[in-house]
Structure 1
Amino acid sequence: MVIACSPRLNARFRFTLSAWSAQSIFTMNDIVRRRWELDALRGLMLVLMFATHLPTRYSIGLGQPFGFVSAAEGFVMLSAFMAGMINTRKADRNGIPAMRQAFLIRALKVYGCHVACLLLLFTLIAALGLKFGQPGLTNLIGFYLNNPLTGLLSGMALIYNPPLLDILPLYVVLLLVSPFILSHGLQHGWRGIFIVSGLLWLAAQFHLSEGLYTLLVAATGLSVPFKETGAFETYAWQFLWVFGLWLGSMDAKGALRDRKPFPQPLVLSSLALVLAFFAWRHIVGQVPVPGNEFINSLQDKWFLGPMRLLNFFAMLIVVMHYGERIRAALPRLKMFESMGAASLPVFCVHLILVLLTLAILGENLDDRPDWQDMLLLAGGLYALYLSARVALGVKRR
């Protein structure tokens, strides 16, 4: 379409368009400059998850390297932060309905990726595991192998969640409830949301999900055992997600940039806790106190035990306080940034690589030399980076 107008008006139009474009480009570049570290952090979490899940002799040492906090907490928190930040801006710019639609589209994408991974696991990967006789894989999908139709349908319904394939269903559920949480927080404040979220987390420590699931089984006759519904306690992990949503929303409103510095006693005590948990983890191992179920339950990953949350929030305060200095001192790692920017496809590729390794090579580390494990880890990381580059290239086109 050609716009015909006077030379003066045409020149003014070109000047206005150029100024608008320059302003838009500057704004986007500014966002990228300020947010590359979030993608790098998400990329680091993906690398740690892959190194932990891949059955090699390095997985134990790389699991929870910073204390009694795993990559899953960081990944969920960062995902919630990004979702809160982006969708708060969308709500301010296009309204609450547009924000809700964006959450729904994202939930459908994550659900589609989960179903694709599930179908691949139940077909090709299961066939490989049976062919090579790898119990690490066949035990992982034992319920499906014994009840294929029930396993398939309940898996599609996000009820049956085999190990490793239980975080995406959690993500789907949290995305579906997020527009209601975020819209209420934007319109009425966050105090009531945090009260409800905190109470749900507390109830989760006393096995709320298992109790509700027992009632569901009694009412419907559902034949999927509770232990097959996934390791993550949804009512506990929602607290971390809600906190991330709030933090991202506050960032979108500019509240984090304008916040007062943390009090020095809080920073020092948080730093002391981080160092103490770090030393504890690497002196004792990943089990806080072997044989002591009570203390171990306080650090439980799946229920987000109170001491685990204490470790996480102490680390968060330290990172937020020293973040600018850390960012200025460290070099930019493009590999991590690319992975974080394409987190969903990279996460799915990581699952497929881990499951293929379990199906073909198994989990018996004594049968493999060190160089093979090293090659597996290095090759897998390169495959994750390559998948990120491909996904970003397709997105740009």
Structure 2
Amino acid sequence: MERRWELDALRGVMLVLMTLTHLPTLFSSPFGQPFGFVSAAEGFVLLSAYMCGVVYTQREQRDGEEPMRSALLQRAFKIYLCQAALLVFLFSFIAGIGLLADQDAVKNLMSFYLERPVVAVVGSLLLLYNPPLLDILPMYIVFMLASPVLLVLGLRRGLRRGWTPVLALSVAGWFGAQFGLGRVLQAQLIALTGLPVPPQQGGAFDILAWQFLWVLGLWMGSSQAAKRPAVPQGLPHWAVLAAVAIGVAGTVWRHAVGQAAFPTLPGTAIPNMLFDKWRLGPLRMLDLFALLLLVLHFGPWLKQRLPRLRFLETLGSASLPVFCAHLVVALLALALWGEPDKERSIGIDLGILFGGFAVLYAVALISQQLDCRAAAVQKRFKERRAARLARLAATSGERRSPTSRAHSPPH
């Protein structure tokens, strides 16, 4: 697949916003959910699923189901290795710094590990125990493992007919998650293993709710790869106006009251559930769909007029290593400086930000260089293999040529 710079730039934007949110500085709150009651995580999951749908549908069309399935499983294993490396880093280096410095932020983040280290290690490798900040990649691993089945089902009986039951089942799962079904299933899964991992230690994200975003993005990407766009290019005028109204209202509301939609209203549990991030509440989804429609409608116009920001493209093109690096930087900052503190010098916060982004950009550049070298090695290997096969074919042709048989001695 030819790289699309605008998608890399969008992923870069999501990575920047997530880094600003996760680094423990005074900038984390204003940059959390900057466009309404929608965070960068929703955009990143949706965009990643879209890219997955495009890339692996093209792979299936070119090579068939088995190579597509194998490539997806290899990708899932690669992400699992990244998660395992992050867990080792957290349980060793970060735990050591946090305990030596008596850092409450670190001790709170990994409290279950400090209480039950053996259970925590085994549970984390089984993706059942997921500490804060390290609960995102496990969700990706599950989605990547499910993607071969989803793509095969979606493509099997014709694109539009095939995806209809998949999307319907996905919506049903999201609806069930709003009433706690996801947490019940999670608790049952942990109980089957016999590990004494509290369900609340399984991670903040409700996978049964978030799978809907993944399936939605996968469908859109697969549709695009099959030359049948899921969303028409010309959106109705009323839909664009409604999206603008919802997007503007959500952004103004969020920055007027904070990241909780109803922070001061008595008995706000139920109203705030409508905007809940972890279960993707209904009004949160409405805000997200409005922003998605605005991106789809104004995206081509903006692409033609906005300057290309190479910094964002570089980050987005190496999204997995940059994402992992941003977690490393966030954990280090948390271990060294703790939670955001108004009493802390603004210079320290700015230093954390600039230092963190310098590390991320360096990781992206190194990743690009490694990818280029790997691509060059693979290209040379294919060329040599093609040349060798051509020589074998030529040799075989000479042996079977009529001229050779005519001059061969009689038996």
Question: Given the alignment, which residue of 70, 76, 82 partners 2:51?
Answer: 82
Question: Given the alignment, which residue of 364, 367, 392 partners 1:391?
Answer: 367
Whether 1:239 aligns to 2:208 is no
Give the structure 1 partner of residue 382 of structure 2.
Answer: none
Give the structure 2 partner of residue 6 of structure 1.
Answer: none
Question: Given the alignment, which residue of 258, 261, 286 partners 1:288?
Answer: 261
Shift of 1:269: 0.8
The amino acid across from 2:203 in the alignment is G
Secondary structure of 2:262's match? Answer: coil
- Structural RMSD (CA): 1.4
Gaps of 5+ in 1: 1-27
Give the structure 2 partner of residue 272 of structure 1.
Answer: 245
Q: 1:233 to 1:257 in 2, by over 3 A?
A: closer
Greater Rg by CA: 2
The amino acid across from 1:185 in the alignment is G
Shift of 1:391: 0.7
Whether 1:207 aligns to 2:146 is no
- Paired with 1:258 and 1:220, the residues of 2 have a C-alpha distance of 42
| CA displacement 1:189-215 (0-9 Å, x = unmatched) | 111001110100000011112222343
Give the structure 2 partner of residue 261 of structure 1.
Answer: 234
Whether 1:91 aligns to 2:67 is no
Shift of 1:40: 0.5
Shift of 1:259: 3.4
Shift of 1:220: 4.8
Shift of 1:219: 4.9
| CA displacement 1:160-186 (0-9 Å, x = unmatched) | 000000000000000000000011101
Do 1:216 and 1:222's aligned partners in 2 also have CA atoms closer than 8 Å? no
Give the structure 2 partner of residue 368 of structure 1.
Answer: 344
- Paired with 1:380 and 1:258, the residues of 2 have a C-alpha distance of 37
Give the structure 2 partner of residue 196 of structure 1.
Answer: 169
Whether 1:44 aligns to 2:13 is yes
- Paired with 1:216 and 1:378, the residues of 2 have a C-alpha distance of 42
The amino acid across from 1:136 in the alignment is A
- Paired with 2:126 and 2:194, the residues of 1 have a C-alpha distance of 16
Shift of 1:337: 0.6
- Paired with 1:51 and 1:345, the residues of 2 have a C-alpha distance of 17
Give the structure 2 partner of residue 357 of structure 1.
Answer: 333
Q: 1:288 to 1:104 in 2, by over 3 A?
A: same
| CA displacement 1:55-75 (0-9 Å, x = unmatched) | 000100010001111000010
Gaps of 5+ in 2: 374-411
Question: Given the alignment, which residue of 98, 101, 108 partners 1:129?
Answer: 98
115-124 or 372-381, larger mean C-alpha shift: 372-381
Whether 1:230 aligns to 2:203 is yes
Do 1:39 and 1:336's aligned partners in 2 also have CA atoms closer than 8 Å? yes
Do 2:8 and 2:312's aligned partners in 1 also have CA atoms closer than 8 Å? yes
Shift of 1:260: 4.4
Shift of 1:222: 2.6
Q: 1:272 to 1:283 in 2, by over 3 A?
A: same
Q: 1:126 to 1:255 in 2, by over 3 A?
A: same
Give the structure 1 partner of residue 113 of structure 2.
Answer: 144
Question: Given the alignment, which residue of 320, 343, 347 partners 1:344?
Answer: 320
Q: 1:258 to 1:67 in 2, by over 3 A?
A: closer
Secondary structure of 2:342's match? Answer: helix
| CA displacement 1:210-230 (0-9 Å, x = unmatched) | 222343455554310011000
Secondary structure of 2:232's match? Answer: coil
Give the structure 2 partner of residue 21 of structure 1.
Answer: none
**Matched ranges for 1:57-76 at <5 A:** 57-76=26-45
Give the structure 2 partner of residue 20 of structure 1.
Answer: none
- Paired with 1:309 and 1:61, the residues of 2 have a C-alpha distance of 21
Shift of 1:368: 1.8
Shift of 1:349: 0.5
Q: How many residues align?
A: 366
- Paired with 2:340 and 2:369, the residues of 1 have a C-alpha distance of 37
Do 2:123 and 2:195's aligned partners in 1 also have CA atoms closer than 8 Å? no
Give the structure 2 partner of residue 304 of structure 1.
Answer: 280
- Paired with 1:143 and 1:81, the residues of 2 have a C-alpha distance of 35
**Matched ranges for 1:28-39 at <5 A:** 31-32=2-3, 35-39=4-8
- Paired with 2:26 and 2:335, the residues of 1 have a C-alpha distance of 17
Q: 1:270 to 1:54 in 2, by over 3 A?
A: same
| CA displacement 1:29-69 (0-9 Å, x = unmatched) | xx33xx10101000110110010010000100010001111
The amino acid across from 1:124 in the alignment is F
